[in-house]
Structure 1
Amino acid sequence: MKPANTLTARLRFCQRRFDNRLIAYTFGPKPSAFVTPFFQTSTLKQRILMLQKSETSRWAIAKYGFAALLIASLFVFVAACEDQSKKDVTSREPITVSGQIYGSNDKPIPGATIELKGSHRGTSTDANGEYQFSLVPANGTLVVSFVGHQKIEVPVNGREALYVRLAQPNDGTQSAYWTGSPRPKSIFKQPLYVPDEKGDIFTVVEKNPEFPGGMPALGEYLSDNIQYPPAASRANVSGRVFVSFVVNTDGSIQHVQILKGIGFGTDEEAVRVVQAMPRWKPGTQDGKPVRVRYNLPINFQTN
């Protein structure tokens, strides 16, 4: 029989081991934490459902891609609208416009009037035909005029330098404007503009409009189609009728008018023949078709 002190020691040892295991079980890591609970009901069901689920179709992928593209486009559109609104605000800010006014003889005009359309504000040119107009709305319109010359309306469009050539009623040209530096000796080498409800009309371009077949074909067309007016024939009237018209970007003819006529029905006949013309080859500026004002002399000669 073992002594009582030995038995007591063993009981204390067993008690300590039991206490340690109980503490470890309560506060230590669980054995199940290191094992995948594959056989749990919820996890097993999820795995079976995932195995039975079909692959995402290409159509679904395309829909997701289209949705992403649409969202990106909306972001770009919103950014563009904000940028345009900033530009619109800027366009309403007043600017200072300066330039020079010329006559039909390409010489500066002193005392020409420059007014802001829709207001009572204006200025005039100095002895060198130069002007400076302050506090002009960037989207406003200037009205330029001088006694004995054709008035012209010039859209500002944010441009701070505008030069104008005023034509006289019977000089065979029209009032026009351009931007850039003033070069009186080479005015007609610069693109000039004449305002119109459908946009600017060029009076000088890099490549002029052309009748189908060129000038020889134009001469044949006029000789074959002009009918000499009886009144002009009886009065033995002959001479040149100067006709002006616009060749549109599609080659059609518009805005036919007489610059200088000789009467006795010849003016009306010249207008009729021009309006009946086939489509021209349009003029171009910077490689693009533009609307061009074209002046054409038509001869009326008695036999």
Structure 2
Amino acid sequence: MFQIHHILPQALAGHFTLKVLGDRFNLNGIRNLMDLPSNEQAARELGSSPHTGGHLGSYSRIFCKFLGVLQSHPSFAAAQEGDSAAVDQLDAELSSFLAAAKHALSKGHLLANTPLGMTKEDANKRIEDWYVNWKTYAEENRDSIKQMQDTVDQLHTASQWEGALRAPVLLPDSTLSLADKLAIIGRYTRGSPISQHFEAVGPVPHLPGFIHPVIDARLPSLSSLSGTRFSALAQLTPWRALRRSPPILSSPSTSPSAGSRMSQGSSSGEDARGRDQSHCRRNAGRAA
């Protein structure tokens, strides 16, 4: 029913921009991961992008473009030299983009794969259109994105792995409550060890440090996320109940720091950028 989706594609893990960021960016960190429905009909009912495997060509392309744009950032040259403040600025830009993309994927505004009732060409166009206006999108949805991030962070801190991964898709919106979304999932997970945990339960027991996020009353689409319904989201099946290990969500990358990796000089950076461009073209071509 659900498949873990890397928001920034795994195929771009070796991109020069990410090497400059060093251990600031974790490909398998929670900010780059989410669950999306692998069932196209379920995705349609939930209002999210489906994730049936791989990516549409334009999806890979917009992330290549964004990483390339970061190389034109005023702080990029200093970041290459290991300036931590400059790396912080690049990391903040990437974080904003990933948060906007995660929110958009959960709402079907950005697509990883082609949804039911849409051609591949139209799906690719939606992706390109979203990218052109992503900063406006992030500003217009700022409160909703912040609510999503706060919820994900609290569930992650409480070691509620599935809750953190699925919160973006399960958070209520203007058309579906949390209960509605859990009911939809229940129809597609019969016989699954997960389904029995999708009913609303009582207060979350024994979660030291867990604080219910403040709900902004000005956001009616999110106001229903409270009390027993929130605890239903928080108590999604632990990974151990699925007899598999959780992804590495919080451990920093083991790669060397940005400063030590970027001490090879500008010529190596130019070579790396050339390789990135070739790799992006090949990768997007395969995905198209």
- What TM-score, normalized to structure 1? 0.23
User: Who wins on radius of gyration, i.e. which is larger?
Assistant: 1
Structure with bigger helix share is 2
- What TM-score, normalized to structure 2? 0.23
Structure with bigger strand share is 1
